[in-house]
Structures are given as structure tokens and as C-alpha cells.
Amino acid sequence: MSFAGAMTTAVNSIQAQSSALGHISDNIANSSTTGFKRTDTTFSEVVTASGSSVHLPGSVSAVPAYTNSVQGVINGSQIDTHMSINGDGFFVVSDSLGTVDGNVVFDGTDYYTRRGDFSVDADGYLVNGGGYFLQGYAVDPVTGNTTGTLLEPIEVTQGFLAANGTTTIDYELNLPTVPETAVYDSAIAGSDLLAYGAPYSNDPTAAGDGFVTATDEDSFLDRSISGGSITTYDDVGNAVDVQIRWAKTSDDNWEMFYMSDDTATGVDAKWTNAGQSYAFDGTGQLSPAVSSITISALTINGIVIGDTVFDHGGGGVTQYANSQGNATVNKIDQNGYAAGELVGVSISNEGRVVGSYSNGETFDLAEIAVVDFNNPDGLQKMDGTAYAATEESGAALTGGTGDIVGSSLEASNVDIADEFTKLIVTQQAYTAGTRIVTTADEMIQETLNMKR
């Protein structure tokens, strides 16, 4: 019985080492496969009988030990649509059944992967090197909020981005306590004011007619300071420059003007008063506070931008001493843009698919889904470095704890040096097993020869 048991055990050992050799060869073959997870081998003793006075040869079993939860090294990539997950989690992907009438048809089953070498295919879908389609949630490009709760393959449309008219100008600046205008003379009191020595065709202040005629422009420019300019857009995307100037109307009181018609002549309005008095206290703060003003039907050179809010934020307009006597614009921005064509797609570190347009704007197009499992090592391996959920892995849990890293790829978690070490050990164990079979066979032959 011991001879037969020895041979059976040795054969089982050979089979076990053969399985280990298969895992090692698979690991080495995929050592350069993006997102690949190696398969180790776990050996377990199988006991036939064992006691204080007897131990019969048993056996050994070899089962795969998956390392789906072991992260590979994250390397940078020059391709904007490549991505990786730093930490726990998997991308959700779909497989395709082909196309019908030019439309991609999906099999309706969710799969999972760490392989992030995605690129935009001819149909606008993000597909990785394994042929799987990335899933996520649609995002409203204007609000940046997701528009649904159902996962779907992410499709990047090649259409134009419609123009968006300007509705808000974020505008913050510091005005000097003494504006050094072209006619300012420190020896003359009041020479820093708008009204200094200048007869106007009408009163340009907010309390008067509220505009500067073309005839009076030179006087106005000599008695005001620049407040910057910004390009805005009407509803169809026409670009319109808004030029701003500030004039001090009395002690610690200022008013804002904008160029309304640069072709005006004679007594026609060329600069228009914004209609708000900005009064400052002794600390350089507005009193009362002016967080924003609205210019109704803002029109520049005949182009109607529409009702426009100049948002100063909380204390965004101040009056502090400035040795240069000019205005310091701290922020000037607006929310409009011209129409644009999609020119590029990238992945942000916030896990968003970002579209770049020819008008210089960028918008989030989709939010990438990341899921995790109670037992990721229980996932079933599939072709293309993908996985399927099993009873052992549990169902997918929304919101993996890992962070998406754009323009990067996760390398295989295979260590070639370690695999070669295991290869040598496996080869020696396999050889030893065959030697046991040979030795047991020789001993059986010697036993049979005893009767001769």
C-alpha cells in the first residue's frame, strides 16, 4: 500500500506542480499587460490517514490564488484618455455584440477591469485595449451635475458646443485713494475729480444724464482711470469687448463707466454710466456694501449682450492707497463663450471625462463609475483583463475608495524576478516528484523479483 500510495502522491504532486507552472507561465506572458493581476498557487495537504502510530501517504492539491486586490505600479502616460485607479476599485465596462444599422449593440452585462488604456473609437465610445467599453453617468456640461442614476457606455459626441451669452461678469478691484489722472495736480485740491475744470455737455454722473458724449470723451479720459476690459458674448456667440473706466466724483465716491459706442460722434453717448455710486468709508471698504450691480440690456456698439450682472463678491471692490494712483484689477472674468467644436478629450483626476473645444472652453461630459467588491479576489477572470462578478466576490458596491488618476496606466502586478524564483522551485519539485515515481517503480520491481 505504501508503494502505491507513494506513487499516487508523487503523481498528484506532479499534477500540482504542473498547475503551478501554468500559473507562472501565464504570469510571465502577461507581465507587460496593462492592469493584469497575477495568479499565485496555493498548495494544500490532503491526508489519507494519520495517527500516533501510522501515517499513510496522502496527496496535495493546488488551487489558484488570485491577486485582483493587489495594485500594480502606476505610470504616467502621454495619452489624455488613459487612466488608472490609485487604491481599491474597478472600472465598470460593457462588451459589444456588434453593430446594427450603424449603432453599437451591447450585451447588457456589467464587467469590471483595472485596465485603463481607453481611447475614443470611431463611434465616439471610450474603449480599452481589451475591447471593453467604459461606463459612467451622463453630465450636464453647463451645470456639471450628473443627469441620471443609470450606468451607460460613455459616448463622446462630436457635435458643436452651442454659444452661451454672457450673463455675469466677476469683477473685483482696488481703487486708489487718489487717482492720478492725466490732469491731476497734487497741489490743487479736487484735481482728482471727474468734474475738475471740465464743462460737460451733460452731467455724466449717475444722478445726471449718466453718459459721456463723444464730444466730451477727451475730458472724460483725462479725468478717469482704466478699470480693465473683458471680452463678452451675445446669445449667438458674437464677441464684444467691454471696456471699463472709473471716475472719482467726490471725496471717497466713485462711479463706473463702460464704452457703449466707440463710433459715436457729437452729442451721442460714447461712455455710459453703470448707474451705481460706490462710497467708501475710512477703512477703504464700501459703505453701504455693493456686492453686485445689474446693467439691464447691456449694449455695446449696437450688439445687445442682455441683462448683465457685475458680481463684486464679498468686498471685492476696495479703496486702498496705491502709489501709482491707478486701479488694480484683482479679478475679471465672465461666463459666456462662442460656439465651439470638440477638439480633444481627457480624463480629470476628479474622475470626469472632459471635452476641450475650439473656443477654449472645457466641459465635463461624463462621470466615470468606480465600484468595489467585498471580495475582489473572488471575481472571475475573463479575456481582455476583465472580470465578472460571482457569488464569491459579491455584488458590485458603488463608489470604490480608489482615486482616478488621469493620463496614467496601472502596470501588471507581476514581478518577473519573483516569477523566475518560483519557476526554479516548481521545476525542482516537479523533478523530485518524477524521481519518486521512478524510485517507487524500481522498488516494486525489486519486490516482485524477490520470488525468483
Domain ranges of the chain: 2-67+413-451, 74-155+346-410, 168-334
Counting Cα atoms < 13 Å in the Cβ hemisphere of 263 gives 4
Q: Has residue 265 got a pLDDT over 80? A: yes
Q: Quick check: helix, strand or coil at residue 320?
A: coil
| pLDDT score for 245 | 98
Average pLDDT score, the chain: 91
Name the band, by pLDDT with cuts 50, 70 and 90, for residue 16.
Answer: confident
Q: Enter the DSSP assignment of 438.
A: H
Cα(315)–Cα(336) distance, rounded to whole angstroms?
24
Average pLDDT of the segment spanning 127-149: 89
Cα dihedral 324, 326, 331, 335 sign? negative
- C-alpha dihedral over 421, 425, 427, 430, to 10 degrees? -160
| pLDDT score for 311 | 97
| pLDDT score for 334 | 96
Classified by CATH at the fold level, domain 168-334 comes out as Tick-borne Encephalitis virus Glycoprotein; domain 1 (2.60.98)
| pLDDT score for 54 | 67
Average pLDDT of the segment spanning 226-240: 96
- The end-to-end CA distance of the chain, in Å, is 22
Region of 124 on the Ramachandran plot (φ > 0 left; ψ -120 to 50 alpha; else beta): left
Between vectors from CA 316 to CA 311 and to CA 319, what angle results, nearest 5°?
A: 130
Kindly provide the residue ranges of all beta strands, DSSP E only, lying in 71-157, ordered along the sequence: 74-76, 83-86, 90-94, 96-100, 103-106, 111-113, 119-120, 126-127, 133-138, 152-153
Name the band, by pLDDT with cuts 50, 70 and 90, for residue 267.
Answer: very high
Is the separation of the CB atoms in 11 and 437 below 8 Å? yes
Name the band, by pLDDT with cuts 50, 70 and 90, for residue 100.
Answer: confident
What share of the chain has pLDDT > 70, as a percent?
A: 96
Ranking 71-80, 151-160, 170-179, 238-247 by mean pLDDT, the lowest is 151-160
Q: Has residue 452 got a pLDDT over 70? A: no
| pLDDT score for 127 | 96
What pTM, to 2 d.p., does this model score? 0.77
Name the band, by pLDDT with cuts 50, 70 and 90, for residue 224.
Answer: very high
Question: How does pLDDT run across 35-76, given as a tens digit for each residue?
Answer: 999 999 988 877 776 666 666 666 787 888 999 999 999 999
Kindly provide the residue ranges of all beta strands, DSSP E only, lying in 35-179, ordered along the sequence: 39-46, 49-50, 55-56, 59-66, 74-76, 83-86, 90-94, 96-100, 103-106, 111-113, 119-120, 126-127, 133-138, 152-153, 160-161, 168-175
Average pLDDT of the segment spanning 234-263: 96
Q: Has residue 299 got a pLDDT over 60? A: yes
Q: Has residue 432 got a pLDDT over 80? A: no
Q: Enter the DSSP assignment of 102.
A: T
